[in-house]
Amino acid sequence: MKEVTIVRFRSSKANEFRLWGLLLTMGGMLLMILGLAGIVFEWGAAGRLLAAIGMVIGAILMLASMGIYFAAGMMSTSAVVVVCPECGKATKIIGKTDRCMFCKTILSLDPAHAPSEGALPAEPAKAGQESASTTP
């Protein structure tokens, strides 16, 4: 029970990858701009060196972010779209277990993890019991 409350603050894998891609792109651009300051303010040889280092690290960060976006794209092609039992919206599951993109509920496709209320359709007998106990 404790774990669920902590975990709810984290986002789904797809959102996480998008966030890291964005952060790396912003960081790379910031480094390039900071490096250019070495040329703009005429700090001489040290300034030019700073600009070169900033450009190289910035370019590497932006390349890494492109790699992350590419990986996220590859992963989302293998994602399974399910209707979240918590909020009723269609969300993507990457891998066996992922969180709902809207309400952060943990959803699992693994039958071993199937609880009383999971992403999988429940057994007919159980489903009848559930609808009887949780009538809105």
Interface ranges with Zn ion (CB under 5 A)? 84, 86-87, 100, 102-103
Residue closer to Zn ion by CB (options 88, 111) is: 88
Name which of 78, 101, 77 is nearest 88 in CA terms: 101
How far apart are CB 132 and Zn ion at their closest, in Å? Answer: 23
How far apart are CB 99 and Zn ion at their closest, in Å? Answer: 8
* Single-letter code of the amino acid located at 68: I
Could you give the 3-state DSSP secondary structure of residue 91? strand
**9 within 8 A of 39, measured Cβ to Cβ:** no
| 53 Cβ contact list (under 8 Å, min separation 6) | 35
How far apart are CB 88 and Zn ion at their closest, in Å? Answer: 7
Residue closer to Zn ion by CB (options 51, 98) is: 98
Residue closer to Zn ion by CB (options 51, 119) is: 119
